[in-house]
Structure 1
Amino acid sequence: MPFIIAATDFSSVADNAVKYACDLALAQNADVTILHTYSVPLTLGDMTVPLPASEFWEEAEVTIDKLIADLRHQYPQIAFRKAVIYGNVIDAIYEFVGDNEPPMSVVVGNSYSQENPSWMDSTLLEAFRSLKYPILAIPPDTKYEQVRKIGFVYDNELGGSEHALQQLAQLTLTLGAELHIHNNQPEPEEGDMSVEINNGARGLLMPANPLYHYTYGEDVDSSILDFVAKYHLDWLIVMPRRHSFFENLFHKSHTKAIVNTSYIPIMALHETDV
């Protein structure tokens, strides 16, 4: 059965993301795994000593069991599983999945805002860059609504993006959404022609019947903001590749674009070799 992983630290932001994941699971006919990670403080006064991990595990087990009991009451159609794993969330996701079928997506809370800029240095940022599964960040207080319009910011480099483009087409079809592809290019020199999305990418995206949009000579921030606003997107999807300007998209110099799109969920898809 397809499944979604909803990561939680039991905060209000995470609780909201978990409920979003459940509503998304209903739309995608998927199960939900609630995943929590914990760590054990090792410093006690001036001494560094190991403290019993069992206490932290037991507390997490009690909390996650209560959360799942509440969710089963609210979402009786969904089959829930749980995972309480020691360590950081990225390693825990890989440990949980192992060699089994990968999740449809990993849903996490996105607490980033102008008032809370620490998100840029968090595990979520690293997951956006490197987690090989689709990861969807949900802003605080954002409730699930039918996803009608998905926007994908594409750099027109096919190499390494084939699997992500197939995932994007399938996701669009599953959700019954409209897919908009945005490509920002340098201003063409006089006499030069603008560059169309390459045929390989078009072929992979063809099942989703996307609409293509081009901008010329704009900075990354402006083009993303305009794209989201102009087409009233419900989700923004990016592919933060290595060795491209998408790796810099989440740099602090581009926080304006992230902050101002933080009212909609943002999904990261990844290169084949991540």
Structure 2
Amino acid sequence: MKTIVVPVDFSDISNNAMEYAVGLARNTGSSILLFHAYQVPVSMTDVPIVLVSVEDLQKNAESKMAQVKKSVEQATSEAVNVYAETKLGDTVDELENICNHVKPFAVVMGTKGATGLERVFFGSTTLTTIKHLTWPVIVVPPGKNYSTIKRVGFACDFREVVKTTPTHFIKEFVREFNAELHVLNVDWKNSHFKPETPEESVLLHTMLEELNPKYDFIDDANIEAGIEKFAEKNNLDLVITIPKKHKLLEGLFRKSHTKDLVFHSHIPIMCVHE
């Protein structure tokens, strides 16, 4: 059985991502593994002082997690297998250990955490997770509800496609939902067009041909904004991007980059490494 890992920090944002994951689990017949990492708070003085005992932190984390697990089981009428785990340690490190063990179908996360401050904890944790985790990570914007995935976008720059395109994963994911695949390329007055671009586009088509992809060439000076506008206009349910090649996720969710995208984006982003 496939497993979806859901890191939670008990905030509204992570709860929303968890609800999205529940819908995804139902759709794919997956189980859900809820995960929470906690750390020992230390006073920043000349002599570090542990403010709360490890035992109290553990009890508090396990109590909250038990409540969350119960609420998910009730919401799904126990139709979805739900597991929960809490760990003392760094969120990303412990998450990586769990993923290496369970080999998840995907990790589903929110973009901001319990503090409410821009890119604090869960926002920065999400970005760090994407950079370091080799498993697919789906980033769910605030307020996004799950709906059956029917149209999937793949952001591509037509550069070194054989080396950098996670072809096998894209094929499996699109087939899982019998979805329509859109290959998205953003350019502005052909400024990114290279002599090798036509050959690279042919190679990509050969790799993805059996999925019958549609190719959408978007004319926009801003890659992130161009993809976001296209995705919303054409009702894409999710966009796949390669973190090493694109700054799409950081662009979509960083207030200083594009304010409106933080508050109005409704497109989940799936980050898949090469």
Q: Give TM-score, length-normalised by structure 2.
A: 0.83
Question: CA 1:194/1:74 → structure 2, altered by over 3 Å: closer, same or farther?
Answer: same
Question: CA 1:229/1:103 → structure 2, altered by over 3 Å: closer, same or farther?
Answer: same
Among 183, 186, 189, the residue aligned to 1:187: 189
1:221 and 1:257 in contact (8 A); partners too: no
Which moved further from structure 2: 229-238 or 251-260?
A: 251-260
The match for 2:268 is 265
Question: CA 1:270/1:193 → structure 2, altered by over 3 Å: closer, same or farther?
Answer: closer
Q: Secondary structure at the match of 1:144?
A: coil
Distance 1:160 1:261 in 2: 34
1:128 corresponds to 2:125: no
Among 207, 210, 215, the residue aligned to 1:207: 210
Percent identical among aligned pairs is 24
2:35 and 2:86 in contact (8 A); partners too: yes
* Aligned pairs for 1:158-197 within 5 A: 158-162=161-165, 164-185=166-187, 187-188=189-190, 195-196=197-198, 197=200
Compute the RMSD of aligned alpha carbons.
2.9
1:48 corresponds to 2:51: no
1:166 and 1:205 in contact (8 A); partners too: no
Equivalenced residue count is: 262
Shift of 1:45: 6.3
Question: CA 1:234/1:247 → structure 2, altered by over 3 Å: closer, same or farther?
Answer: closer
Question: CA 1:238/1:255 → structure 2, altered by over 3 Å: closer, same or farther?
Answer: farther
Shift of 1:54: 1.8
Shift of 1:247: 4.1
* Aligned pairs for 1:210-249 within 5 A: 210-215=213-218, 218-241=221-244, 244=245, 246-247=246-247
Structure 2 residue ranges without an equivalent (≥5): none
The match for 2:67 is 66
1:170 and 1:208 in contact (8 A); partners too: no
Structure 1 residue ranges without an equivalent (≥5): none
Distance 1:217 1:74 in 2: 42
Question: CA 1:225/1:15 → structure 2, altered by over 3 Å: closer, same or farther?
Answer: closer
1:154 corresponds to 2:156: yes
Per-residue CA distance 1:196-242 (angstroms, 9 max, x = gap): 4534432332332211112357332442233223322121221121x
Distance 2:55 2:188 in 1: 56
Q: Secondary structure at the match of 1:250?
A: helix
Distance 1:195 1:260 in 2: 35
1:130 and 1:270 in contact (8 A); partners too: no
Amino acid at match of 1:207: E
Shift of 1:261: 6.2
Per-residue CA distance 1:106-135 (angstroms, 9 max, x = gap): 0111239xx953269611112223321111
Question: CA 1:105/1:193 → structure 2, altered by over 3 Å: closer, same or farther?
Answer: same
Q: Secondary structure at the match of 1:181?
A: strand
Question: CA 1:116/1:265 → structure 2, altered by over 3 Å: closer, same or farther?
Answer: farther
1:3 and 1:30 in contact (8 A); partners too: yes
Amino acid at match of 1:17: A
Question: CA 1:217/1:58 → structure 2, altered by over 3 Å: closer, same or farther?
Answer: closer
